[in-house]
Copies of this chain bind each other. A is one copy, B any other.
Amino acid sequence: MLIIGERINGTRKNIKEGIESRDKQLIKKEIKKQIESGAHYIDLNAGIGKGKEREKEDIKWLIECLYEVGEYPVCIDSADPDVIDFALSFVKTDDKMINSINGEKEKIDKILPIIKKYPESKIICLTMDENGIPSDSKKRVEIAERVIKILNEAGVKNENIFVDCLVEPVSVNTQNGIVFLQALKEVKKFGVKTTCGLSNVSFGLPNRKLINKYFLALCIYEGIDSAIIDPTVSDIKEAICIAEMLTGKDEFCMNYIKGIRCNIF
Interface of A toward B, CB cutoff 8 Å: 170-171, 174-175, 177-178, 181, 201, 205-207, 210-211, 214-215, 217-218, 221, 238-239, 242-243, 245-253, 256-257, 260
CB distance from A216 to the nearest CB of B (A): 10
B residues less than 8 Å from A221 (CB atoms): 181, 218, 221
> In the bound complex, how far is the Cα of B238 from the Cα of A171, in angstroms?
17
CA gap between A211 and B252 in the complex, in Å: 15
Q: Which residues of B contact A239 (CB under 8 A)?
A: 214
Q: How far is the CB of A80 from chain B (nearest CB, A)?
A: 33
Q: Which of A218, A243, A251 has the most C-beta atoms of chain B within 10 angstroms of its own C-beta?
A: A218
Residues of chain B lying within 8 A (CB to CB) of residue A218: 217-218, 221, 243, 246-247
Q: Can you pick out 15 interface pairs between chain A and chain B where the beta carbons lie within 8 Å of each other? A: A170-B253, A171-B253, A174-B248, A174-B252, A174-B253, A178-B248, A201-B246, A205-B257, A206-B260, A207-B260, A211-B242, A211-B246, A214-B239, A214-B246, A218-B246
